[in-house]
Amino acid sequence: MIAQEIAVEVMMPCPGWRRDCADAASLADTAVRLTLESCAAPQGSVVDVTLTDDSAQQALNRIWRATDAPTNVLAFPAGSTVKIVNSDGILHNIHTYSTANPSFNMAQPKFKKVIEQKIDQPEVIKVTCDAHGWMHGWWVATDTPYYAVTDDKGNYSIANVPPGDYTVEVWQEKLGTDDQKVSVKDGTTATTNFSLKPKG
Ligand SMILES: [Cu+2]
Protein backbone atom coordinates (compact mmCIF):
# COMPACT_ATOMS: atom_id res chain seq x y z
CA MET A 1 0.00 0.00 0.00
CA ILE A 2 1.27 3.49 -0.83
CA ALA A 3 1.35 5.91 2.07
CA GLN A 4 -1.18 8.69 1.60
CA GLU A 5 -0.72 10.78 4.74
CA ILE A 6 2.49 12.24 3.43
CA ALA A 7 2.49 15.47 1.45
CA VAL A 8 4.65 15.31 -1.68
CA GLU A 9 5.06 18.48 -3.67
CA VAL A 10 6.75 18.13 -7.05
CA MET A 11 8.02 21.30 -8.68
CA MET A 12 9.16 21.50 -12.29
CA PRO A 13 10.62 24.95 -12.92
CA CYS A 14 12.30 23.63 -16.07
CA PRO A 15 9.86 23.22 -19.02
CA GLY A 16 11.87 20.35 -20.49
CA TRP A 17 10.49 17.95 -17.91
CA ARG A 18 6.90 18.63 -18.98
CA ARG A 19 7.87 18.35 -22.63
CA ASP A 20 9.97 15.18 -22.45
CA CYS A 21 8.41 13.29 -19.56
CA ALA A 22 4.73 14.14 -19.28
CA ASP A 23 4.13 11.97 -16.21
CA ALA A 24 7.31 13.01 -14.36
CA ALA A 25 5.37 14.58 -11.50
CA SER A 26 3.25 11.51 -10.80
CA LEU A 27 6.27 9.20 -11.17
CA ALA A 28 8.23 11.33 -8.68
CA ASP A 29 5.24 11.38 -6.33
CA THR A 30 4.92 7.58 -6.43
CA ALA A 31 8.68 7.06 -6.04
CA VAL A 32 8.84 9.31 -2.98
CA ARG A 33 5.81 7.68 -1.34
CA LEU A 34 7.14 4.15 -1.89
CA THR A 35 10.55 5.16 -0.57
CA LEU A 36 9.09 6.77 2.54
CA GLU A 37 6.83 3.81 3.13
CA SER A 38 9.74 1.38 2.94
CA CYS A 39 11.60 3.32 5.62
CA ALA A 40 8.49 3.87 7.78
CA ALA A 41 8.58 7.66 7.50
CA PRO A 42 6.29 9.32 10.04
CA GLN A 43 2.82 10.23 8.82
CA GLY A 44 2.45 13.95 8.32
CA SER A 45 5.85 14.25 6.61
CA VAL A 46 6.20 16.84 3.87
CA VAL A 47 8.62 16.27 0.99
CA ASP A 48 9.46 18.75 -1.74
CA VAL A 49 10.96 17.43 -4.98
CA THR A 50 12.38 19.77 -7.61
CA LEU A 51 12.94 18.38 -11.09
CA THR A 52 15.43 20.83 -12.43
CA ASP A 53 17.90 21.53 -15.22
CA ASP A 54 21.66 21.67 -15.63
CA SER A 55 22.07 25.35 -14.74
CA ALA A 56 20.16 24.98 -11.48
CA GLN A 57 22.09 21.80 -10.73
CA GLN A 58 25.29 23.71 -11.41
CA ALA A 59 24.26 26.35 -8.85
CA LEU A 60 23.56 23.64 -6.27
CA ASN A 61 26.90 21.99 -6.98
CA ARG A 62 28.65 25.35 -6.63
CA ILE A 63 27.09 25.93 -3.22
CA TRP A 64 27.19 22.42 -1.80
CA ARG A 65 29.99 20.59 -3.58
CA ALA A 66 32.48 23.33 -4.45
CA THR A 67 32.17 22.20 -8.07
CA ASP A 68 31.01 24.87 -10.47
CA ALA A 69 29.58 22.44 -13.01
CA PRO A 70 26.45 20.35 -13.51
CA THR A 71 28.33 17.11 -13.03
CA ASN A 72 28.93 14.31 -10.59
CA VAL A 73 32.42 13.73 -11.99
CA LEU A 74 35.58 14.92 -10.30
CA ALA A 75 38.76 14.51 -12.36
CA PHE A 76 42.31 14.88 -11.07
CA PRO A 77 45.77 13.45 -11.74
CA ALA A 78 46.62 10.23 -9.90
CA GLY A 79 48.63 11.01 -6.79
CA SER A 80 46.21 13.77 -5.75
CA THR A 81 44.45 13.90 -2.40
CA VAL A 82 40.67 14.23 -2.54
CA LYS A 83 38.95 16.26 0.16
CA ILE A 84 35.54 14.80 0.99
CA VAL A 85 33.53 17.53 2.67
CA ASN A 86 30.42 16.98 4.76
CA SER A 87 28.72 20.34 4.39
CA ASP A 88 25.18 19.50 5.45
CA GLY A 89 25.72 18.17 8.97
CA ILE A 90 24.10 14.76 8.59
CA LEU A 91 25.65 11.29 8.59
CA HIS A 92 27.02 10.06 5.27
CA ASN A 93 29.00 6.94 4.45
CA ILE A 94 31.60 7.27 1.73
CA HIS A 95 32.20 4.06 -0.22
CA THR A 96 34.57 3.77 -3.18
CA TYR A 97 34.61 0.92 -5.68
CA SER A 98 38.11 0.54 -7.04
CA THR A 99 40.59 -2.13 -8.04
CA ALA A 100 43.86 -0.33 -8.78
CA ASN A 101 43.53 1.68 -5.55
CA PRO A 102 42.43 0.41 -2.14
CA SER A 103 38.65 0.70 -1.74
CA PHE A 104 37.45 2.46 1.34
CA ASN A 105 34.15 2.51 3.17
CA MET A 106 33.97 5.12 5.85
CA ALA A 107 31.26 6.81 7.88
CA GLN A 108 31.31 10.58 7.80
CA PRO A 109 29.28 11.86 10.76
CA LYS A 110 28.45 15.54 11.02
CA PHE A 111 31.43 16.31 13.25
CA LYS A 112 33.84 14.84 10.69
CA LYS A 113 33.75 17.77 8.28
CA VAL A 114 36.59 16.66 6.00
CA ILE A 115 38.03 13.27 5.10
CA GLU A 116 41.18 13.27 2.98
CA GLN A 117 41.90 10.35 0.70
CA LYS A 118 44.95 10.02 -1.54
CA ILE A 119 44.40 8.25 -4.85
CA ASP A 120 47.72 6.94 -6.13
CA GLN A 121 46.79 4.95 -9.23
CA PRO A 122 44.98 6.07 -12.41
CA GLU A 123 41.45 4.67 -12.35
CA VAL A 124 37.77 5.54 -12.80
CA ILE A 125 36.27 5.06 -9.36
CA LYS A 126 32.58 4.91 -8.53
CA VAL A 127 31.79 6.65 -5.23
CA THR A 128 28.56 6.12 -3.34
CA CYS A 129 27.06 7.13 -0.04
CA ASP A 130 25.76 4.02 1.69
CA ALA A 131 23.49 6.15 3.87
CA HIS A 132 21.68 7.74 0.92
CA GLY A 133 21.12 5.62 -2.15
CA TRP A 134 20.70 8.56 -4.48
CA MET A 135 24.12 10.06 -3.69
CA HIS A 136 26.81 8.90 -6.04
CA GLY A 137 29.58 10.25 -8.19
CA TRP A 138 32.77 9.39 -9.98
CA TRP A 139 36.39 10.13 -9.39
CA VAL A 140 38.51 9.98 -12.53
CA ALA A 141 42.16 9.74 -11.54
CA THR A 142 44.14 10.35 -14.71
CA ASP A 143 47.60 9.19 -15.73
CA THR A 144 48.28 12.62 -17.22
CA PRO A 145 48.17 16.24 -16.09
CA TYR A 146 46.19 17.01 -19.30
CA TYR A 147 42.52 16.33 -18.68
CA ALA A 148 39.17 18.10 -18.54
CA VAL A 149 35.57 17.63 -17.43
CA THR A 150 33.06 18.67 -20.08
CA ASP A 151 30.56 21.43 -19.46
CA ASP A 152 26.80 20.93 -19.68
CA LYS A 153 26.97 21.18 -23.50
CA GLY A 154 29.73 18.58 -23.78
CA ASN A 155 32.45 21.12 -24.55
CA TYR A 156 35.95 20.78 -23.19
CA SER A 157 39.37 22.33 -23.58
CA ILE A 158 42.77 21.29 -22.35
CA ALA A 159 45.31 24.11 -22.18
CA ASN A 160 49.10 24.22 -22.50
CA VAL A 161 49.58 20.78 -24.02
CA PRO A 162 53.14 20.50 -25.37
CA PRO A 163 53.51 19.79 -29.12
CA GLY A 164 53.37 16.08 -29.96
CA ASP A 165 51.19 13.13 -30.87
CA TYR A 166 48.57 12.11 -28.33
CA THR A 167 45.62 9.81 -27.79
CA VAL A 168 42.61 11.60 -26.38
CA GLU A 169 40.36 9.28 -24.40
CA VAL A 170 36.85 10.24 -23.36
CA TRP A 171 34.76 8.55 -20.65
CA GLN A 172 31.09 8.96 -19.78
CA GLU A 173 29.35 7.06 -17.02
CA LYS A 174 26.55 5.68 -19.20
CA LEU A 175 28.15 5.75 -22.67
CA GLY A 176 31.55 4.25 -21.90
CA THR A 177 34.83 5.20 -23.54
CA ASP A 178 36.20 6.20 -26.90
CA ASP A 179 39.54 7.52 -28.08
CA GLN A 180 41.13 9.38 -30.98
CA LYS A 181 44.62 10.29 -32.09
CA VAL A 182 45.51 13.94 -32.29
CA SER A 183 48.64 15.90 -33.16
CA VAL A 184 49.32 19.13 -31.34
CA LYS A 185 51.46 21.67 -33.21
CA ASP A 186 53.32 24.44 -31.48
CA GLY A 187 51.19 27.53 -30.91
CA THR A 188 48.01 26.12 -32.45
CA THR A 189 44.78 24.58 -31.22
CA ALA A 190 43.99 20.98 -32.12
CA THR A 191 40.34 19.91 -32.18
CA THR A 192 38.98 16.48 -31.32
CA ASN A 193 35.23 15.80 -31.40
CA PHE A 194 33.56 12.70 -30.04
CA SER A 195 30.10 11.33 -30.66
CA LEU A 196 29.21 8.61 -28.16
CA LYS A 197 26.22 6.40 -28.77
CA PRO A 198 24.32 4.38 -26.16
CA LYS A 199 25.39 0.74 -26.30
CA GLY A 200 23.01 -2.09 -27.06
CU1 LIG B 1 24.84 10.69 2.13
What tens digit of pLDDT does each residue of 26-57 get?
Answer: 888 888 888 877 877 777 777 878 888 877 77
Can you give the pLDDT at residue 65?
A: 59
Q: How far is the CA of 129 from the centre of ligand 1 (A)?
A: 5
Cα separations in angstroms, 114 against 5, 32, 109, 186: 38, 30, 10, 42
Q: How far is the CA of 135 from the centre of ligand 1 (A)?
A: 6
pLDDT for 3 beyond 70: no
Dihedral sign of CA atoms 23, 24, 27, 32 in order: negative
Any bridge partners for residue 139, and if so which?
Answer: 74, 125
Q: How far is the CA of 126 from the centre of ligand 1 (A)?
A: 14
Is residue 145 a contact partner of residue 77, using CB atoms and an 8 Å limit?
yes
Q: How far is the CA of 131 from the centre of ligand 1 (A)?
A: 5
- Per-residue pLDDT, averaged over 88-112, amounts to 92
Q: How far is the CA of 94 from the centre of ligand 1 (A)?
A: 8
Is residue 68 a contact partner of residue 43, using CB atoms and an 8 Å limit?
no
Q: Which one, of 51, 71, 53, lies nearest residue 62 by Cα?
A: 71
**Per-domain boundaries in the chain:** 7-53, 69-142
Q: How far is the CA of 92 from the centre of ligand 1 (A)?
A: 4
Domain 69-142 has CATH 3.10.20.90: no
Q: How far is the CA of 108 from the centre of ligand 1 (A)?
A: 9
What confidence tens digit (pLDDT) does each residue in 63-87 have? 665 667 667 899 999 999 999 988 7
Q: How far is the CA of 112 from the centre of ligand 1 (A)?
A: 13
Can you give the pLDDT at residue 142?
A: 96
Any bridge partners for residue 123, and if so which?
Answer: 141
What confidence tens digit (pLDDT) does each residue in 125-180 have? 999 999 888 788 999 999 999 999 998 788 999 999 999 999 999 999 889 999 99
Can you give the pLDDT at residue 191?
A: 95
- Per-residue pLDDT, averaged over 59-64, amounts to 71
Q: Please give the model's pTM, rounded to 2 decimal places.
A: 0.67
Q: How far is the CA of 88 from the centre of ligand 1 (A)?
A: 9
Can you give the pLDDT at residue 17?
A: 82
